[in-house]
């Protein structure tokens, strides 16, 4: 009979040595050494690093807009008004059912021309000349697509977080005479944020990786610059090793930072310390 303290049932995150992190760091150190010591890897990295700014701008802008829209959608789903609830649920289910790449193409080649046409019809009298579809930046088409797609997932994250706040907290805030906006701002959202932080962080990391899809529109992000270099030099292995290294480095750093923040919030006064 195995001792309960030494048996398999006691194995958990607190007792596991992070061998996965050691392996990941080993791969990262090896690729980093190749970039520093190998002229070809150094050349590839110097080209791809120019796309980091585009990737960061697309990700941060789209995630910020998606978070705002997702929070509004979550509020609409929990609204006492039937029309708002039905519209928000319709939007969420439609967006979650469309693959991101399909949505990207749809917004870029169907939605953007429709928006341009709407602007010309409604504001044509004010514009000096009609707006053309090519005036609508491909980067912003990609940002809009990522915003619309991820807002549906983020809305569900916020909805679950808001519903996790106990009814006693809401009743206490109501008894203090707080307005609905004040109740949400000072009582509900601060408590819900601790719950939504891990899945919200996962969505942010997923968006960093999905931002590589904007390369299909020719946006000069890390992946697009890698495609161009590899197609011209036929150095596919070296190029995509560096592409993968950059994404891995960014996502790993963010993952560790989010875990650190989650642990900090968990052990703050008012946070959950239950194991």
- Select the more confidently predicted residue: 146 or 253: 146
The model's pLDDT over 15-42, given as tens digits with 9 standing for 90+, comes to 678 888 788 888 888 888 889 899 999 9
Q: How far is CA 153 from CA 102, 103, 157, 206, in A?
A: 16, 14, 7, 11
The reported pLDDT for the residue numbered 187 is: 81
- Structural tokens at position 193: 């944020």
The yes-or-no verdict on residue 270 having pLDDT over 70 is no
Q: How far apart are CA 255 and CA 204, in angstroms?
A: 10
Q: Mean pLDDT of all residues in the chain?
A: 86
Instruction: Provide the whole-model pTM.
Output: 0.83
Cα separation, 107 vs 62, in Å, equals 14
What is the Cα–Cα distance from 220 to 201, expressed in whole angstroms?
Answer: 25
Band the pLDDT of 206: cuts 50, 70, 90. Answer: very high
pLDDT tens digits along 41-51:
999 999 999 99
Q: Which of 197, 249, 265 is nearest to 55 (CA)?
A: 249
pLDDT at 110 (0 to 100): 94
Whole-angstrom Cα distance, residue 15 to residue 10?
Answer: 8
Cβ atoms of residues 220 and 58 within 8 Å: no
- In the prediction, which pLDDT does 93 show? 95
pLDDT at 223 over 60: yes
CA–CA gap between residue 61 and residue 68 (Å, rounded)? 11
* Helical segments of 49-188, H only: 52-77, 82-96, 100-106, 112-123, 138-163, 167-175, 180-183
Residue 10: its pLDDT value, please?
Answer: 54
Q: Over 60: is that where the pLDDT of 245 sits?
A: yes
Domains plus CATH for the chain? Answer: 38-266 (1.10.3720.10)
How confident is the model at residue 12, as a pLDDT?
53
Question: Looking at residues 189-208, what average pLDDT do you find?
Answer: 88
- The reported pLDDT for the residue numbered 127 is 79
pLDDT at 275: 37
CB 191 within 8 A of CB 114: no
Residue 272: the pLDDT is: 47
Give whole-number Cα distances, 194 to 64, 200, 205, in Å.
Answer: 18, 10, 18
* Among 264, 63, 28, 79, CA closest to 184: 79
**pLDDT above 60 (res 254):** yes
Per-residue pLDDT, averaged over 2-10, amounts to: 49
Residue 127 has a CB neighbour count (10 Å cut-off) of 10
Give the position of tokens 């931002």: 211
| Residue 168: both structure tokens together | 């006693």
Q: Given this model, what pLDDT does residue 274 score? A: 38
| pLDDT for position 128 | 78
The pLDDT assigned to 82 comes to 94
pLDDT single digits (tens) 62-82? 999 999 999 999 999 998 899
Q: What average pLDDT score do residues 102-106 get? A: 95
The whole-number average pLDDT for the span 124-130 is 79
């Amino acid at each position: 009979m195995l001792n309960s303290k030494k048996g398999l049932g006691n194995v958990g995150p607190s007792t596991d040595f992070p061998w996965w992190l050691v392996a990941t760091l080993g791969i990262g150190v090896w690729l980093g050494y190749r970039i520093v010591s190998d002229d070809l890897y150094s050349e590839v990295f110097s080209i791809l690093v120019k796309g980091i700014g585009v990737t960061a701008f697309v990700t941060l802008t789209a995630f910020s807009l998606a978070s705002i829209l997702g929070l509004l959608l979550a509020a609409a789903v929990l609204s006492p008004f039937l029309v708002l609830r039905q519209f928000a649920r319709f939007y969420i289910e439609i967006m979650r059912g469309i693959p991101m790449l399909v949505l990207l193409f749809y917004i870029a080649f169907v939605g953007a021309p429709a928006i341009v046409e709407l602007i010309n019809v409604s504001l044509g009298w004010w514009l000096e000349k009609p707006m053309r579809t090519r005036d609508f930046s491909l980067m912003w088409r990609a940002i809009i697509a990522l915003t619309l797609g991820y807002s549906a997932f983020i809305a569900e994250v916020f909805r679950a977080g808001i519903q996790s706040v106990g009814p006693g907290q809401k009743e206490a805030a109501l008894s203090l005479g707080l307005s609905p906006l004040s109740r949400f701002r000072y009582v509900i959202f601060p408590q819900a944020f601790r719950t939504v932080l891990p899945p919200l962080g996962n969505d942010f990391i997923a968006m960093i990786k999905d931002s590589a899809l904007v390369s299909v529109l020719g946006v000069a992000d890390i992946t697009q610059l890698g495609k161009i270099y590899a197609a011209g030099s036929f150095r596919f292995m070296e190029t995509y090793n560096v592409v993968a290294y950059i994404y891995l480095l960014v996502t790993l750093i963010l993952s560790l930072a989010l875990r650190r923040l989650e642990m900090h919030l968990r052990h703050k006064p008012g946070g959950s310390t239950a194991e």
